[in-house]
Amino acid sequence: MRHIVSGVLVLAFGLGCGTESGTTAVQSRGGPTSFTGISAQFASGGGALGNQPVTILRVAIYEKPLWCTPTDAGTAPTTFAALLVEVARWGAAPAFEGTFPITVPEPAMTDRASALYYTFENDQPDITLQGTSGRLELRRVDQAAAEGTVDVTLEDGTQLQGDFSATVCTQG
């Protein structure tokens, strides 16, 4: 449930019509689910569980354009799909560049990546598919952008693959 809630928060952050914020070429390569990502954003945050620090990086890939400021904002779409990939790293100030296998989330305090595919209908989650395998490669992660390649197999057998360039997107 935590992943669905965090995913909805990231997905609701910044979606609208307007200019692209980051670019992506992630598409369905097989399976019953159709997806073509055209924009992406990322966010990171930290915390602790007991005395163990954790940093989480979230990359959201959308089939619709994003807007980052009120000046380029349009009317937010009510129907869209998105892929959310989340990396959890344990320890103080971990680096995110590298390749992470995508696994089904588990409560263990280990470095991991997970993926969720969402469709939204009238601003409400309609379909949620868990990523069951694959990998996330992060070539760049800094204060301005996260870039890499994603290769995810969803629980319905759909495979999503491609490159992304995700920017930090803040409203205000």
Structure tokens at 93: 């100030």
Give the residue carrying structure tokens 């009238």: 122
Q: Is the pLDDT of residue 85 over 90?
A: yes
Q: What is the mean pLDDT of residues 146-171?
A: 89
Residue 160's Cβ-side half-sphere holds a number of Cα atoms within 13 Å equal to 36
Q: What is the mean pLDDT of residues 74-99?
A: 82
Higher pLDDT, 3 or 118: 118
CA-nearest of 28, 73, 44 to 145 is 44
* pTM to 2 decimal places: 0.79
Higher pLDDT, 19 or 142: 142
Percent of the chain whose predicted confidence (pLDDT) is above 90: 34
* Dihedral (CA of 144, 165, 21, 168) sign: negative
Average pLDDT, whole number, for the chain? 79
| pLDDT on residue 77 | 66
Higher pLDDT, 112 or 35: 35
Q: What is the mean pLDDT of residues 124-141?
A: 89
| pLDDT on residue 164 | 93
| pLDDT on residue 24 | 80
Higher pLDDT, 21 or 73: 73
SS3 for 117? strand
| pLDDT on residue 3 | 40
CA-nearest of 28, 59, 64 to 160 is 28
CA-nearest of 130, 162, 151, 140 to 25 is 162
Residue 150's Cβ-side half-sphere holds a number of Cα atoms within 13 Å equal to 34
Report the C-alpha gap between 63 and 166 in whole angstroms: 13
Highest mean pLDDT among 7-11, 59-63, 77-81: 59-63
Q: What is the mean pLDDT of residues 11-27?
A: 53
